């Protein structure tokens, strides 16, 4: 009987030793963890300095695959098969990228005020854009920009929101683009500085050439006199008469 008990006890002890060894191999890899044989779950028992270098789950899995020799378990390793056992990534970066990003903010730029413009004054500017035949956008020496409507003349419409492109409008617009785009010119003001739309009203000089008059003389515009800005009215009327007689542009 004693012999039977001794054999039985030895069997139990042997079974107790063998079973844990099968379920839990015990040896830790360089990261401080190992795979559980039963289901290939990676258990990170004692994270080493190498394991702590991982900033997220993907990096940790890459380290496990590199430093653990269990190719069977590393081959199909996924985040769901990693038990961190309380370990957290030091850089607080999730393995799932955030979908919430702050919208980019546009830098705000303070609008530069126009220089003081007096009656009959002159200002040198650069034409930065031609809107149509009789309207341009300019930049003053201080950086301020503004739209300028040429005084005393009117070219056919090309950009009016409620009107179709008028006859000879494109030709007039293209002519002004050719003559004024990126050119440095002189604006001469009359009595009224702005119109009801807030545009500056001016005569445009290219050197000694009065461009308002040129538009009329070449048949790209007709005279449109709006008091009190009448300084060069007579010159414009004379230019239009000559264009009509020569059947230029609008008068063909």
Mean pLDDT, rounded, of the chain:
85
pLDDT tens string 73-132: 988 899 998 998 888 887 544 444 445 556 666 666 688 999 999 999 999 999 999 999
The answer to whether residue 199 is catalytic is: yes
The answer to whether residue 188 is catalytic is: no
Least-confidence region, from 7-11, 29-33, 159-163: 7-11
221 burial level (CB within 10 Å; 0-12, 13-18, 19+): buried
Cα-based angle 47, 98, 34 (whole degrees, multiple of 5): 20
Given 59, 149, 166, 235, the catalytic residue: 149
Q: DSSP strand E in the chain: where?
A: 34-36, 41-43, 82-83, 122-132, 135-139, 145-150, 153-154, 184-188, 200-206, 209-210, 222-223
Given 171, 179, 188, 199, the catalytic residue: 199
The answer to whether residue 235 is catalytic is: no
Given 157, 188, 213, 240, the catalytic residue: 157
pLDDT tens string 168-193: 889 999 999 999 999 999 999 999 99
């Amino acid at each position: 009987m004693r012999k039977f008990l001794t054999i039985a006890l030895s069997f139990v002890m042997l079974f107790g030793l063998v079973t844990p060894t099968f379920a839990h191999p015990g040896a830790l890899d360089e990261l401080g963890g190992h795979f559980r044989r039963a289901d290939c779950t990676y258990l990170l028992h004692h994270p080493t300095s190498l394991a702590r270098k991982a900033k997220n789950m993907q990096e940790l899995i890459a380290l496990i695959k590199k430093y653990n020799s269990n190719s069977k378990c590393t081959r199909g390793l996924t985040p769901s098969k990693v038990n961190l056992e309380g370990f957290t990534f030091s850089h607080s970066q999730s393995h799932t990228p955030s979908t919430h990003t702050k919208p980019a903010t546009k830098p705000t730029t303070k609008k530069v005020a126009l220089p003081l413009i007096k009656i009959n004054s002159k200002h040198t500017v650069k034409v930065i854009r031609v809107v149509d035949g009789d309207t341009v956008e300019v930049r003053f020496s201080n950086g301020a920009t503004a739209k300028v409507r040429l005084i005393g003349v009117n070219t056919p419409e090309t950009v009016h929101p409620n009107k179709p492109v008028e006859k000879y409008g494109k030709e007039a617009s293209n002519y002004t683009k050719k003559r004024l785009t990126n050119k440095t010119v002189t604006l001469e003001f009359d009595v009224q500085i702005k119109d009801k739309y807030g545009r500056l009203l001016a005569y445009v000089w290219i050197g000694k050439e009065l461009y308002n008059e040129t538009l009329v003389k070449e048949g790209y515009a007709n005279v449109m006199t709006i008091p009190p800005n009448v300084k060069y009215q007579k010159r414009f009327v004379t230019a239009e008469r000559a264009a009509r007689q020569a059947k230029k542009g609008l008068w063909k």
